[in-house]
A = this chain, B = another copy of it.
């Protein structure tokens, strides 16, 4: 039975205020997955989702894992196309808290020079994006009684802490989760007028390095000069990771890094990416990566090595003449093409060990490893979704790359044998992972409408 999408779109418009209220309810739950102190909040967010999805008539449940729970729900029309919808309900930490203009878990709709926004941690990444899909389903069900597709939800609570339980969970639930296609809503618009389907994702390797020197913190007057300083050792190692051309110096790092095809290069140049505006929006003026590469290459198709955090010694107010016993850094590498994260982890560890002076030792902590993904855009749903998005937004939809890492797409392919379609409505200035995260009301509203259209188009395709 062909159902009418226009009534669903009308319902979305008239229900927008209630949709926002529901989103704000979820945003008030501080589900920071990386911080053990917030584990009860993550659980509370899972319960909230189970209630919401059950309220839509879906068979919803919370599946325990070794970490935070997975929220799973099933429903929709049997015998039609089967979609798996993936999103995550956990959020990033909020520090530095003093840079927030308001409490991060007290959401507010704000008028800004660029339009109305929803301000809160998770507003964009990923609660707001997730709720665009859930609200689209709500509208479908309330207008037509049932979705036009068979649908399985898989909502994760560990995306922001490296997804330790995800792979075991997928492996243990292959049959229940396998669908025709996965929808993943963790990506962005190309710009405010141009929706995007992301077809290239960088991989991610995370590693923490702790350099140990003296067996305790020392007085720098008594021992300074004679005792090795692990902060100095770490600084030297970190400095050695790049050469003066911005290239990463780990042996074997560029194995499997492809050059852009002429076709793709031409397509990306056609997008008219505003590198000056992109960098200018965060107070910068020059692409800082490999010399001779464009900013868009640097973020979509080139690998990186970044220091995400480092700490040693006394870092409070004032001064303390301490010689620290240890120094540590959290590093991440964005990977492209067929770079092998496990080989690179070993290469990094060897690189560190080679640079250790006598009297220092290195400790390593893994924080995830996933290769890059390239999507199969030949699946008919891609053209259906591109058409649906192009109807909703001012400009036609584009196939784009993404600097971020969404390892789930690779797992869906390797574990469930299923392609993924990545669509989202975030904007570059959403400040995800940063203070004052926001989601545009326009992203939320048009996002819900976009999913209603996509569900319709995929059901017909």
Interface readout for A6-38 with B: 1 if CB under 8 Å, 0 if not?
000000000000000000000000000011100
The answer to whether B316 touches A95 (Cβ under 8 A) is yes
Which residues 316-366 of A sit at the B interface, judged by CB distance below 8 A?
316-324, 327-330, 332, 334, 357-359
Which residues 415-442 of A sit at the B interface, judged by CB distance below 8 A?
428, 431-436
Known contacts being A232-B242, A404-B221, is A322 close to B334, with CB within 8 Å?
no
Instruction: Identify which of B215, B235, B431 contacts A238 (C-beta below 8 A).
Output: B235
- Among the stretches A40-48, A149-157, A255-263, A305-313, the one at the interface with B is A305-313
A interface residues, tally (CB under 8 Å): 101
Which residues 27-69 of A sit at the B interface, judged by CB distance below 8 A?
34-36
Contacts of A218 in B (CB 8 A): 282, 433-434
Q: Which residue of B lies closest to A323 (CB)?
A: B306
Instruction: Identify which of B162, B219, B228, B322 contacts A284 (C-beta below 8 A).
Output: B228
Interface readout for A210-230 with B: 1 if CB under 8 Å, 0 if not?
000111111111111111110
Contacts of A221 in B (CB 8 A): 202, 204, 334, 402-405
Q: Which residue of B lies closest to A217 (CB)?
A: B434
A178 at the interface (CB under 8 A from B): no
- Among the stretches A139-147, A296-304, A382-390, the one at the interface with B is A296-304
Which residues 162-218 of A sit at the B interface, judged by CB distance below 8 A?
162, 202, 204, 206, 208, 213-218
Interface readout for A362-389 with B: 1 if CB under 8 Å, 0 if not?
0000011000000000000000000000
Q: Name which of A160, A275, A321, A431 has the most chain B CB atoms within 10 A of its CB.
A: A321
A239 to B329, CA, bound (A): 15
Instruction: Identify which of B219, B279, B330 contacts A227 (C-beta below 8 A).
Output: B279
24 A-B contacts, Cβ less than 8 Å apart?
A: A96-B217, A160-B320, A161-B318, A162-B319, A208-B319, A215-B282, A215-B283, A219-B432, A219-B433, A219-B434, A220-B308, A221-B402, A221-B403, A222-B299, A224-B304, A227-B288, A231-B309, A231-B329, A235-B307, A308-B313, A308-B314, A308-B324, A311-B315, A318-B367
Known: A311-B311, A320-B330. 4 other contacts (CB 8 A): A232-B238, A235-B310, A238-B239, A320-B433
